[in-house]
Structure 1
Amino acid sequence: MEISVSESTARHLCLLPTELLLQVLGELDYRSLVRCKQVCRLFLETINNAVALQYKIELGVARMEDGPPSLLGAADRLALLKRHQQAWNTLKYSSIEWMPMLRGEVWELYGDVLAQARGSKVLCFWQLPSAIRGIEHKEWTLENFEFVIRDFGMDPAQDLLVLIQSPRADSDDPYRIHLRHLSSGDRHTRAPNPAIFTHSPHGSEDYSFTIQVAGDLLGVLFINHGDEDAELLVWNWKTGVRICRVIGEGVRSFAFLTPRHVLLAETEYGTEEGDTLGPTLFVIDVFKHADTNTDILVQSDDLCRFRLPELSDLATDYSVLIRSDPAPGWTPHPDSKVPFYTGRHDRLFVLTLDVVETTMHLHALLMFVPSSTFTSRMDALAPGEEHRAFDWEDWGPTGTRLIRAPPRQTHVWVCYVFGMKFAFKRMINNNMAICVLDFNLLPVKRRQAEGRDGMEPGLEERSYERTPTTLPGGTVFKNPVTTSLPFRSHTLMFEVPSQGGPIPLAAVMLSEDSLIMVADLPNVRQFGIITY
């Protein structure tokens, strides 16, 4: 819990025996502990000399949470956590391992597990290791599937594998969604029996899918490339109950914002009170019509909406891709025994905004938004209030960072965000570089609050970006757009070795413990796993 300590309360606490004072301080959250260090010398020395309290502070500042009980005590966990933060601050990795890129059509990366299809009925899995958090490298293959795998998703924390089976050609069969154990491929024992959901979307047969699991909820977005309509289906995968069907025009991606809310964007120009409705993010409560089984319509059933900057008159088309990992409430599998893991209180959303102008030139932009930017506005809604529209000026300039996307930013290898970090590749002086943007500024704020100069160990002052970014008006946006959300940047200069010289990277992806280099060329198809 977070408290404020008055001067009189502090005087009384100072009279307690050390053992009782430690018990009282142990009930505080990390923010209150940091404040208590500024109250008096006794509090400062007591907290600094208590390993368990230091560990709690370091967890909070790193936006981490304590892992399940194990043989590791607070002192060991504190040492590992500091080592973990130092490694990511400097991008000094533990090892690099190369693995082949298989010839299957689908792949997935989630929760430190990389999966690829081999052919149409076989899936191969790699648990990515971590020297610091004690995660072992594992490989396994599932090849007993009796149907062609159209797409799949997974949640290693719940040992869940979600498989989509396409209907037979020229048939009226529905799509079948199978719930299996990730470790064995057998029917998931926590799912209904049979562990199969079905859905028959309207429209053409040219569908692609986005699959996300958030605790008990399974969301599957059916994207119809022959039509602008899209359908988002959400089930409770443990009970088999369908929670909702969300219908929207031009929806191409979604992400769970909270355990009951999804964030999505429509890419069709709509109208609102006679005005053109430009790029807008919608927040949908998936339980809104759960009792009546009524479809949810994006523009009429939203809880609230966040308007993006107004587009220029030269803009003729746009699209929005939304990415965020992990899902809200995500925790690692309890058997993993990791000492700590990424916290659940704030996550980074990465929006890719592609705008086409009249000359058919494509402008690609990246917008970084912490989930707290959205949820803090949602918390301000009055009870029962719906359809609240937050203008860009009310949330964007200080709550986001909008930049031009790096050249050839990937639209395929999109697992580039985890927690509060985003990874991408760029060229610096004709050399390949891997860059990580970290939007967790608590280490900087702590040092400022404690009156200490300089950065955290391993950080340089130039890595802290506070200068606002301004994109000019006239081409993409009608007016200049300035955003100022601070971040830290870390760069790894890297020459990828091979017998024929450096391997050109198509993309860089990110998991909780690894940077994944993607070499996707006809003659070079590999993943390079940089492990921390």
Structure 2
Amino acid sequence: MVNPQSRSSGASPIERKLHAVKLDLPVPEMTSQSRLLHLPLEICAEVLALLDSRDILSCSETCKLLRTLVSSLTTLQYILALSAHGMRDGLRALPLTASERLNLLRTRRASWRTLTLGAPSTSIHLPGACQAYDLVGGYFGKCSGARETEVSIDTDDRRTITLVTLPSFEPPQETKVETYDLGVQTKDFASDPSQDLIALLEMPGVDGSIKLHLRRLSEPGTTHPEAGVGVLTGSAENFIAECMLDVADDVLVLYVREPEPRIIIFNWRTGEQLVNMEPPSHPVMPDDFSFISPRSFLVTYAHTDAIRLFTFTSPSSSQTLEATATLRIPPPAPGARLSVLNAITGPWLARAPSGSAHFPLNERRIHMFNLTIAGADGLWHELLIVVRAQTLSSILQHGISPPDYFLAPQLFSTSSTAFGLADEEKTLWEWTEWLPSYARVIALSQQFHWQRYVHGSRMLAHGIAGLHMLDFDVPIKDGERKKWKDTGLFGKGSIAVWEEGEKGVPVSGVLNVGGDVGGGEDDGDGTHWAQGLVIDEVDAPYHSLNSNSPISPFDKVLEQEPELVSALPYGCVCIPVPVPPDDGRGGTYTGFMLDEQRVVGVRSVEDGEVLDVWTL
């Protein structure tokens, strides 16, 4: 038998440390519980690497050897870091070791938390009036042309698409701009670079007839090889004025907004039409649509019964659906009126996009609902309601699970009975059942003209103080949370994490949430501190109902009024809005977008747009 000390004499420092620990331990009896410890360390590490992050952590708490093994091996630390950051491992074909992937993950995370936008990495001029666009997985696409009328448009217009491969810092990737002739007039498109897919909505007929062309993103003139049919056909039964396309894995949706809302969903791989229906109205028309998963979606309404959740199957049992669940929001205060409730979320990626060492977990995406309220005070108010996709999925499964302990351990102090499964027949969720514990309400005006300002767990917002980056995936295992603490309230350059017991903002005249639910203590300057999390005054300009002039937010009349408690933790970095580079094109920023590796500022210039790209 080989002497353990001699066997480890040529080993790495980590191996020598592990063997030293193993020598200090008594040899356990061979039982089913101890067999793992009798395996060679290399095999033991491979076994642990097959576990998920929670099981790895559980194993590390059982004995000194496994704790040292987990804390010493980069592969296991990378698995834990992915889970803590809400990420999934990317392409194994990338020439990066586990150590390099871990360092990249940590470096990029730190870059987001210390976000600064100096001179852009590159600026890309895209001429022509933009009529359709998308930013997904490192690609930006744009269709240009004149706006159509109800009758027709120029037959030579909107037949090309410009695809931009955006630059990346690591792994290095250069900018590439290519223009393709699509062969059809295109009203809208959606893409998923991870599936090499682009879906084109051909200009619909005046009778609402539709054609969806399924092409390869890398060769937009070529039919996608996995498509059941090259062109999907259907009918919206009416002229389509305003609509959107979106893709989630194997399903593709056409959501018609105007003049008559309609949802049409296809399985693009089989060619089957799964859903074709008018969303239910009650008593207001629907505002927006968003996929929760490839088999569920939501529709929003400017109504107390605000968010309706639906599920469907493939193959389809019925193309007309009833809501599986309805989520209520607080009713408007006397004299106030709910005006619009829009829904924004990041793209659903079926797998890792090209050049990605890691990418966000789809279930950890956030859904952001932008609620506009005509207040009793004669002002427009905007509130953002943010909730995770996994919370919505849990509600669809007739219950809410406890919040992820990686993200919000303070919520586990709540009685466990609050997290019990709901009645299997439960379809109506009062706002008090889901919003306080599982969402976040923020008083922040969203002023972007371009979407894709939400990606994964992050979102960008443009306020008076500057550009805000909000991150709703705040891990606790990496020791970073304290670095986000700051006494400033989202002033320029300030950083903060909002947890239980933070400052609240009154909502009287906007939402009717009953009496004062804060119950906290006065901090000495007349400001009330709530027991739970509350509407946060990040940077909320109020506007007169008859004017676009900003008014100072939260005047003294509102200071002592009720507060709305919400508890989803997040971090926020506020930086000055970048100054457009002096490149001779001028223009002003009309929006900022983001993905995992970039911030993209969109400048409107005389002959089109300029994309200013900052890589992280």
TM-score by structure 2 length?
0.72
Q: Which runs of 5+ in 1 are unaligned?
A: 1-7, 270-277
Aligned partner of 1:31 in structure 2 is 54
Equivalence for 2:150? none
Provide Cα deviations, 1:185-233, integer angstroms capped at 9, x if missing partner. 222222234x222333244x352112111111011101123xxx41100
Aligned mates of 1:24, 1:199 — CA distance in 2: 50
SS at match of 1:43: helix
Specify the SS of the correspondent of 2:212. Answer: strand
Q: Return closer, same or farther for 1:240/1:15 CA change in 2, 3 Å cut-off.
A: closer
The amino acid across from 1:354 in the alignment is T
Q: For 2:178, give the aligned amino acid.
A: W
Runs (5+) with no aligned partner, structure 2: 1-30, 146-157, 400-420, 487-494, 514-561
1:73 to 2:97 alignment? yes
Mapped pair 1:395 → 2:416: no
Is 1:323 matched up with 2:344? yes
- Give the corresponding residue for 2:75: 52
Q: Distance in 2 between matches of 1:517 and 1:107?
A: 14
Secondary structure at the aligned position of 1:353 is classed as strand
Match of 1:434? 467
Residue in structure 2 matching 1:489, options 550, 566, 572: 572
Letter of the 2:214 counterpart = L
- Tell me if 1:115 matches 2:154: no
What is the aligned partner in structure 1 of residue 331 from structure 2?
A: 310
Match of 2:226 among 170, 190, 193: 190
Name the counterpart of 1:295. 320
Instruction: Find the aligned partners of 1:476 and 1:440 in 2 and give their Cα distance.
Output: 28
Question: 5 Å matches for 1:444-455?
Answer: 445-447=476-478, 455=481
**3-state secondary structure, aligned to 2:261:** strand
Change (3 A) 1:127 1:469: farther
Pair 1:424-2:461 in alignment: yes
Is the aligned partner of 1:530 residue 2:606?
no
What is the root-mean-square deviation of aligned Cα atoms in Å? 3.0
Mapped pair 1:252 → 2:263: no
- The answer to whether 1:199 aligns with 2:199 is no
Rate the CA distance shift 1:394–1:387 in 2: closer, same or farther, 3 A: closer
**Equivalent pair of 1:166/1:174 in contact (CA under 8 Å):** no
Q: TM-score, normalised by structure 1?
A: 0.83
Task: Please identify the structure whose Cα radius of gyration is greater.
Answer: 2
Counterpart CA distance in 1 for 2:188 and 2:176 is: 23
User: Cα offset for 1:111?
Assistant: 2.0
The letter for the 1-side match of 2:350 is W
In 2 relative to 1, CA 501–39 (structure 1 residues): closer, same or farther, beyond 3 Å? farther
State how far apart, in whole Å, the 2-side matches of 1:222 and 1:163 are.
Answer: 15
How far off is 1:72 after superposition?
Answer: 2.2
What aligned pairs does 1:251-290 form with structure 2 within 5 A after superposition? Answer: 251-267=286-302, 278-287=304-313, 290=316
User: Which residue number corresponds to residue 489 of structure 2?
Assistant: none
Which string of whole-angstrom CA distances, capped at 9 and with x for unpartnered residues, describes residues 376-408 of structure 1?
3333458994561111111101211111223x6
Give the counterpart of 2:65 among 21, 42, 48: 42
1:174–1:199 CA contact under 8 A, matched in 2: yes
What CA distance in whole angstroms lies between the structure 2 residues aligned with 1:18 and 1:377? 42
Moved more, 209-218 or 475-484: 475-484
Alignment: residue pair count: 486
Q: Is the 8 A contact 2:208 2:236 kept in 1?
A: no
Task: Provide the residue aligned with 2:189 in structure 1.
Answer: 152
1:332 aligns with 2:331: no
Are the structure 2 counterparts of residues 164 and 524 from structure 1 closer, same or farther at C-alpha, using a change threshold of 3 Å? Answer: closer
Indicate how the Cα distance of structure 1 residues 409 and 247 shifts in structure 2: closer, same or farther if over 3 A, else same. Answer: same
1:100 is matched with: 125
- CA offset digits 1:251-275 (Å, max 9, x no partner): 23211112211011134x5xxxxxx
Change beyond 3 A, Cα 1:497–1:105? same
Distance 1:523 1:17, change over 3 A: closer
Percentage of identical aligned residues: 22
Distance across 1 between alignment mates of 2:314 and 2:187: 30
More strand by share: 1
Is the CA contact 2:165–2:177 (under 8 Å) kept in the aligned structure 1? yes
Q: Provide closer, same or farther for how the CA distance between residues 345 and 358 of structure 1 changes in structure 2, counting only shifts above 3 A.
A: closer
